[in-house]
Amino acid sequence: MSFLEVRDLTVAYGAIQAVRGVSFTVEQGQIVSLIGSNGAGKTTTLRTISGLLRPVSGEVLLDGEALHALPAHEILARGVAHSPEGRRLFARMTVEENLRLGAYTRRDEHGIVEDLDRIYALFPVLGERRRNKAGLFSGGEQQMLAIGRALMSRPKLLMLDEPSMGLSPIMTQKILETVRELRATGTTVLLVEQNALAALALSDRAYVIDLGRTTLSGSGAELLADPRVQEAYLGEGVAS
């Protein structure tokens, strides 16, 4: 039994099926990436795992426990944290207030303070500006805050949706290095990332989602070397 199992997931927006039978697994301590073109169903898949959407059919299991019928706050309490596309911060609230929102299911104030210190050590700029409003931050700093907020729930599984979107190459490298550091400390990461090359280089395993279906899978290195992936997602034409 895998740590996370997504089995034949189908999700619809009204009459439109956005996900049409996606299946994949994530083992504990891994970084697993979902790659694919815009509109392929990657974000919808993450939103369904975290309980923001309800599947038409299929299953989501964490440590063998079914999640797909639970409300979002119960899924969070079971250890699944979601840093969404677009960050979704509260711009008029301070850094620390945004971070504390990530711990709203917890009641251990001492542990919350410890985790705030851990986030400030991971992202020093957040500690230096903890009383500043989130809306005043750059895109990269806001992404650090979004990841920090997700980590405040002490997740077993951290899902990151497009963490490098709109960031400079230097800031993208910093964010992806942070993801690698999180794996080294035992955090399991499910990553959706527009930079397929960087995502595959980082990942233990990856899946290609196309038109709402899982079409390819393998280690990050295997998919990097796959001519079909190179041509479709890495901008490398296959020689004839």
Sign, CA dihedral 13-18-21-26, equals negative
pLDDT digits (tens, 9 = 90+) for 96-148: 999 999 998 888 999 999 999 999 999 999 999 999 999 999 888 899 999 99
pLDDT digits (tens, 9 = 90+) for 208-226: 999 999 999 999 999 999 9
Q: Which residues contact 32 (CB under 8 A, 6 or more apart)?
A: 24, 26, 189, 190, 191, 203, 204, 205, 206, 207
Sign, CA dihedral 138-139-141-146, equals positive
Helix (H, G, I), strand (E, B) or coil at 67: coil
pLDDT of the residue at 140: 87
pLDDT of the residue at 236: 58
Predicted confidence (pLDDT) at residue 194 exceeds the cutoff of 90: no
Domains of the chain: 1-79+201-240 (3.40.50.300)
Q: Are 98 and 136 a contacting pair, CB within 8 Å?
A: no
pLDDT of the residue at 238: 44
* pTM greater than 0.75 (yes/no): yes
pLDDT tier at 10 (50, 70, 90 boundaries)?
A: very high
Predicted confidence (pLDDT) at residue 229 exceeds the cutoff of 80: yes
Average pLDDT over residues 165-185: 88
pLDDT digits (tens, 9 = 90+) for 11-67: 999 889 999 999 999 999 999 999 999 889 999 999 999 999 999 999 999 999 999
User: What is the share, in percent, of the chain residues with pLDDT greater than 90?
Assistant: 72
